[in-house]
Amino acid sequence: MKQSTLLKTGIIGTLVASLCCFTPVLVVLLGALGLAAWVGHLDAVLMPALVFFLGLTIYALLKKDKGE
């Protein structure tokens, strides 16, 4: 995978996961769709996704600094 693709994926994934974690955007969306019962399980998915995308971003930045 290209360096720029890794970095873009990491940054976009981190922004989306943090937007859904720290704002009520996903809660409102699920409520509007009639899927409010899923709100209780969001933390089990969003926090690991946030950690994964943060790690991917850090990995891409470190790889970029080494010039690989």
pLDDT tens for each residue of 23-67: 788 888 888 999 888 888 888 888 899 999 999 999 999 987 776
Q: Domain limits at 55?
A: 3-66
- Taking the model in full, what pTM does it have? 0.77
Q: Look at residue 26 in the predicted model and tell me its pLDDT.
A: 82
Instruction: Please count the structural domains in the chain.
Output: 1
Nearest to 21 by CA among 41, 56, 54, 47: 47
Higher pLDDT residue, 1 or 19? 19
What is the pLDDT at residue 21? 79
pLDDT at position 56: 94
Rounded-to-integer distance, Cα 14 and Cα 56, Å = 9
R_g (Cα) of the chain, nearest Å: 15
Using CA atoms, how far residue 35 sits from 18, 20, 47, 55, in Å, is 21, 15, 20, 30
